[in-house]
């Protein structure tokens, strides 16, 4: 498995047969594993640093996280 958010890197990894997971997926998995109590503040911190996130994806991630 490889964590990537850059589109070209994700495409190449997929062509190589690697499982790709992005930043939000990593946060969700960490919460599901009990390593994080919440993902919302981390997502807000990412957005404050220029992380681009569509509003519908933001809500989906929060829903999946149970937040």
Q: At what angle do helices 55-65 and 23-32 cross, to 10 degrees?
A: 20
The predicted pLDDT at position 5 comes to 64
The predicted pLDDT at position 44 comes to 97
The predicted pLDDT at position 37 comes to 97
pLDDT beneath 70, residues of the chain: 1-5
Contacts of 37 (CB under 8 A, 6+ apart): 31
The predicted pLDDT at position 14 comes to 86
Tell me the C-alpha to C-alpha distance, in Å, between residue 26 and each of 1, 33.
11, 10
pTM of the model: 0.77
């Amino acid at each position: 498995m490889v964590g990537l958010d850059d589109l070209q890197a994700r495409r190449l990894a997929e062509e190589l047969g690697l499982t790709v997971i992005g930043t939000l997926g990593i946060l969700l998995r960490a919460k599901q594993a009990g390593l994080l109590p919440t993902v919302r503040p981390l997502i807000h911190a990412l957005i404050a640093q220029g992380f681009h996130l569509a509003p519908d994806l933001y809500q989906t991630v929060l829903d999946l996280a149970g937040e």
